[in-house]
Chain A
Amino acid sequence: MRPIVSLEDISLRYHSINGETVAVSDLSLSVQSGEFLSIVGPSGCGKSSILSMLAGLIIPSEGKISVNGEIGYMLQKDYLLEWRTIRNNALLGLEIQNKLTPENMAYVETLLNQYGLGDFKDHYPYQLSGGMRQRVALIRTLAIRPDILLLDEPFSALDYQTRLSVSDEIGTIIRKEGKTAILVSHDISEAISLADRVVVLSSRPAQVKKIYNIKLSIEEYSPMKAREAPEFREYFNAIWKELDVHVA
């Protein structure tokens, strides 16, 4: 089967007045349609750069990227625009792409209703909790009906408790909508609980160190239940060791 996303021998170099930084070197990766892939790696290893390249915001210095589908990108924070209502925030992507058709607008209404924001459509972002704001950000991303979702540590701005429930919610939504997703995270348990596969990257320049296929013996999948699976701890310890985090 042809992968929906593939990176072949990607290298990325940043140039600044102080010299050249190699962020990514000879990275190859492919993602199947409907798969949830997590990428973990030490901080500053170039994880976010990979997503930016997939989104077409940065052009790699070398290598070939192929993306067969519409991309949706979720950033580290919700970045809701304070002067827009929740509805208008959710419609932002459609507005930019000139796709404000009645059909698409109805789709956004459905998503808002479905994910518990029906009563808040005319509210402003400051009136919503962190978790709700993150859901609006997801709906804003889903509104353009992407085939592939790029998630750049989308829960890192939330407190731990909210984070658990939001990652559970959003993970469930993404599965339910049948999207392909690539999550970048430095939170190992988050990565395992959401993903089908976890890619461990080396420190800069980023290269694939190891790939884990996550198979958990649970009856009905949800990110929250995944954390309770007996294999969860084994994966966690293995990835932890692989990351080789030194705490000074």
Chain B
Amino acid sequence: MWHKKNTNSMSSEQAAFLNRLRKRKNAVHGIQWVLLVGFFLLWEIAARLDWIDPFIFSQPSRMLSAGIQMGKDGSLWTHIGTTLWETVAGFVLGTVIGTLTAILLWWNRFISDVAEPYLVVLNSLPKTALAPIIIVWLGNNQTSIIAVALLTSVIVTVMSVLNGFLQVDAEKIKLIQIFGGTKAQILKKVVFPANIPCILNALKINVGLSFVGVIVGEFLVAQSGLGFLIVYGSQIFIWFYKLYVSIRQPHFHFPIIHPYHLNLYFREQIKLKYQFPGKYPYPLNVFRHLIYT
């Protein structure tokens, strides 16, 4: 039935063409999956067979179980939530403030001409490099993180939206003027609506930029968030790594430790349980505790 319908409705050449198209699409998707699965599989195998040192390079199964563990106790969601909120606040503010500034510069070409070299310089500046200064100004808090995120996206928004505004067909502006329209009407009826795709595009780019700003901000000041988790994890790692090198047990596998729990260890249990002597006792004692209990 299908065969009959197929031969009736299209030529064999068309059918062959569609078939080739379908095969190509399947091949593209197939190879994409093979690459993805293959990458993690190879990583896992390499770690298990000791081609790479899983202490340094980790392995997918451990990452998965750490993820599940953190997901279960809810800490993962708290950190993701913090970062998400900061990122959204950063890119929404960046886009809104950037667009408002672009409107101001479009409105007054004199201000725009004055501002131009400053915009170029600010745009080429690595914004995250200003993060430490922002923290000095705004304090060791979430406001600073959002400010860094805002800073990464606002200048590029001003430049791209202003560029979009200036590229609106002069004849369309003339159309409004012909009817006796004011500058505000030119903005409202033509320039702004014509640039909604441009502003949405800026918004999309700002999601990525703001995320970078948030992670860097969290590296520096945060109490929670993904950036905090990364820095915390790497500090823990460094402590353990020093230990690991010093005891010369190259393939000793640590149990999976969640930084949050480790934190609890530090702050409450260990401190109370073992009243440590000396200056930097924590990593060593945690280590001992984990091994001997």
Contact = CB atoms under 8 A, between A and B. Distances in A.
A55 B176 CA distance: 12
A96 B190 CA distance: 11
Contacts of B178: 55, 57, 71, 73, 75
Contacts of B194: 81, 83
A97 interface: yes
A75 B180 contact: no
Q: Which of A71, A77, A81 has the most CB of B within 10 A?
A: A81
B179 A144 contact: yes
Task: Give the bracket for the number of chain B residues in contact with chain A.
Answer: 10 to 19
Nearest to B190: A81
B175 interface: yes
Interface stretch (B32-40, B166-174, B245-253): B166-174
Contacts of B174: 57, 75
A79 B179 contact: no
Interface string A71-109: 101011101010100000000110111000000000000
B201 interface: no
Contacts of A57: 174, 177-178
A139 B28 CA distance: 51
Contacts of B176: 96
B199 to A, nearest CB: 13
Interface residues of A, number: 16
B181 interface: yes
A55 B174 CA distance: 11
Given A81-B190, A81-B193, A93 B179 contact: yes
A57 B170 CA distance: 13
Given A81-B193, A83-B193, A92-B189, A97 B179 contact: yes
Interface string A100-126: 000000000000000000000000000
A96 B171 contact: no
Contacts of A77: 171
B185 to A, nearest CB: 6
Nearest to A74: B178
Nearest to A52: B174
B171 A97 contact: no
A83 B181 CA distance: 19
Q: Which of B175, B180, B193 has the most CB of A within 10 A?
A: B175
A23 B176 CA distance: 24
A95 B178 CA distance: 13
B185 A96 contact: yes
Q: Which of B176, B179, B180, B181 has the most CB of A within 10 A?
A: B179
A144 B180 CA distance: 11
Given A92-B179, A97-B179, A76 B193 contact: no
Top 8 closest A-B pairs, CB basis?
A73-B178, A96-B179, A93-B179, A96-B181, A79-B175, A83-B193, A79-B172, A96-B185
Interface of B: 169, 171-172, 174-181, 185, 189-190, 193-194, 196
6 contacts: A57-B177, A79-B172, A81-B194, A83-B193, A93-B179, A96-B181
